[in-house]
Amino acid sequence: ALTPASFLERAARVHPERIAIIHGNQRISYQLYDERARRLASALVNRGLTRGDTVSVLLANTPAMLEAHFGVPMAGAVLNTLNTRLDADTIAFSIDHAETKVLIVDREFAAIAQEALKKCKAMPLVVDYLDPEFETLGEPIGTLTYECLLKEGCPDFAWSPPDDEWDAISLNYTSGTTGDPKGVVYHHRGAYLAALSNAMTADMAKSSVYLWTLPMFHCNGWCFPWTLVAVGGTQVCLRWVRAAAIYDAMAKHKVTHLCGAPIVMSIILGAAPEEKQSFDQKIKFMTAAAPPPEAVLQAMKANGFAVTHLYGLTESFGPAVVNEWKDEWDSLAPAEEAKMKSRQGVPYVTLGGLSV
């Protein structure tokens, strides 16, 4: 059965010492990444989780979020990444609707999580995650810490692929702008194919270094947590999307790829002079939503970014269509180039058919 969880097993075998995750001063190799994901899976199984049970996480873009993208499906469970920007009522609805069995909460979001839990019918096991690299406010609300949970697990846990590749791997909720949030179920097969499509669309390879400016709670980070592991690349976590931290990561870690809404481009371009740092590499920036204005596209190009316009939905595992750029368009005048870049283009390579 196809499952993106298999990508980590392969990466740990082929590239055990390669750096998989950078977070502050932390450097996590693929071997350690795999061991920690297996520990999480083992601990969840030991705690009684069975196939199809939901693990909800209220986390920032941290290693724990990346580990959950593998450890939860390795346990046969379903990952529900909660939007950290939502109110307590909406979070409570999602926890209840998902029938959450385990809730992993970043200390920064403890207050909103506690408020949501008071409104819930569900009574999940609550696990506190304390970021070892960045000081965050918030009191512990859980039964145990994330690291204690991992210590309960086995680093060589023998996980099994799903019996059916159409089984659920994750559950994502829409923002609920017209009522209660709507749950969208992702299956292992779709996540596997979407992850590989990302790699081909973004020209990713072992040398790729991806900066997390896109929230991973958004369509499982457009499936890029699985993509980077498939190619053996490096993921740079970014707890807060701020200009100085973005430039520091791009310069220090030689970032090659990042994703985000147009607001992220505004943050980059609007950085104060003292926040900016120079970098030599060309960086691919994949953006969705409305096409950026011509002035923004030209400014991004002048600052060393190649912008690709994508579009998708929660229901389509994130991006589903891409502006497939052609070499002959490189010589277009700025206005015409911007017009071409605004086109969302053609279906992802693994989509068999698409109607709009």
CATH topology of domain 191-347: Rossmann fold (3.40.50)
CATH homologous superfamily for 30-187?
ANL, N-terminal domain (3.40.50.12780)
pLDDT at 351: 83
Q: How confident is the model at residue 63 (pLDDT cuts 50, 70, 90)?
A: very high
The yes-or-no verdict on residue 286 having pLDDT over 90 is yes
pLDDT tens digits for range 290-320: 788 888 888 999 999 999 999 888 999 999 9
| Distance of alpha carbon 122 from alpha carbon 124, whole angstroms | 6
In the predicted model, what is the mean pLDDT of residues 155-159? 98
Instruction: Give buried/exposed letters for 145-164 (b at 16+ CB in 10 A, else e).
Output: ebeebbeebeeebebebbee
pLDDT at 337: 84
pLDDT at 85: 94
293 contacts 309 by C-beta, under 8 angstroms? no
pTM of the model: 0.95
Which 3 state secondary structure label does DSSP give 78? strand
In the predicted model, what is the mean pLDDT of residues 193-214? 96
State the residue for tokens 């997390």.
212
**Which of the two residues, 179 and 108, has the higher pLDDT score?**
108
pLDDT tens digits for range 225-270: 999 999 999 999 999 999 999 999 999 999 999 999 889 999 999 9
Q: How confident is the model at residue 175 (pLDDT cuts 50, 70, 90)?
A: confident
216 contacts 236 by C-beta, under 8 angstroms? no
pLDDT tens digits for range 1-57: 999 999 999 999 999 999 999 999 999 999 999 999 999 999 999 999 999 999 999
The yes-or-no verdict on residue 119 having pLDDT over 90 is yes
pLDDT at 356: 61
Mean residue pLDDT across the chain: 94
Nearest Cα to Cα of residue 215 among 177, 284, 264, 147 = 264
Nearest Cα to Cα of residue 214 among 247, 236, 196 = 236
Specify the domain boundaries for CATH 3.40.50.12780 within the chain: 30-187, 191-347
- Dihedral sign for Cα 235, 150, 140, 54, please: positive
pLDDT tens digits for range 122-137: 999 999 999 999 988 8
Quick one: what percent of the chain has pLDDT higher than 90? 79
| Distance of alpha carbon 49 from alpha carbon 68, whole angstroms | 14
